[in-house]
A = this chain, B = another copy of it.
Amino acid sequence: MRIGEAAAAVGMTTKAIRFYEDRGLLPPAERSANGYRDYAHDTVSRLEFIRRSQLAGLSLAQIQGILRVRDNGITPCTHVQDVLGKQLMDLDRQIAELTALRATVAEHYATAEAADPECCDAEQICSYV
């Protein structure tokens, strides 16, 4: 199948598919006699795996790591578990950071609600932040 069909099959753009090939997430495509990329059906599975992984918030680099393991003939289960574990820790860290930031901003907001606008000192631009 040609790149446009593969793209339509998984709901990606042809640009994205070429980009993934360029980044090493897809092996260099087979070519038809006219030079067009010619994909086997398993490429669709691979693209769908990339999509599922992205939905799990994995970066292309992480996805590439998993695919490389699979391409070496090893079942990537252990590696995937590692990556998912790291991803969980990373998400927890991000959520904690955002939650802390939210508390700070909420505090500023409460100050701004309670304060007297006339007390604004031009020197420090704004005392609520």
Contacts and interface: CB of A to CB of B under 8 A. Distances in A.
Contacts of A113: 81
Main secondary structure of the interface of A (DSSP, over half): helix
A22 to B, nearest CB: 20
A29 interface: no
A122 interface: yes
A105 B125 contact: no
A6 interface: no
Contacts of A120: 75-77
A77 B121 CA distance: 11
Nearest to A66: B126
A23 interface: no
Interface in A34-74: 42, 45-46, 48-49, 52-53, 55-58, 66-67, 70
Interface of A: 42, 45-46, 48-49, 52-53, 55-58, 66-67, 70, 75-78, 80-81, 84-85, 87-88, 91-92, 94-95, 98-99, 101-102, 104-106, 108-109, 112-113, 115, 117, 120, 122-126, 128-129
Which 7 residue pairs are nearest across A and B when measured between Cβ atoms? A49-B125, A75-B120, A91-B102, A77-B117, A84-B109, A81-B112, A95-B98
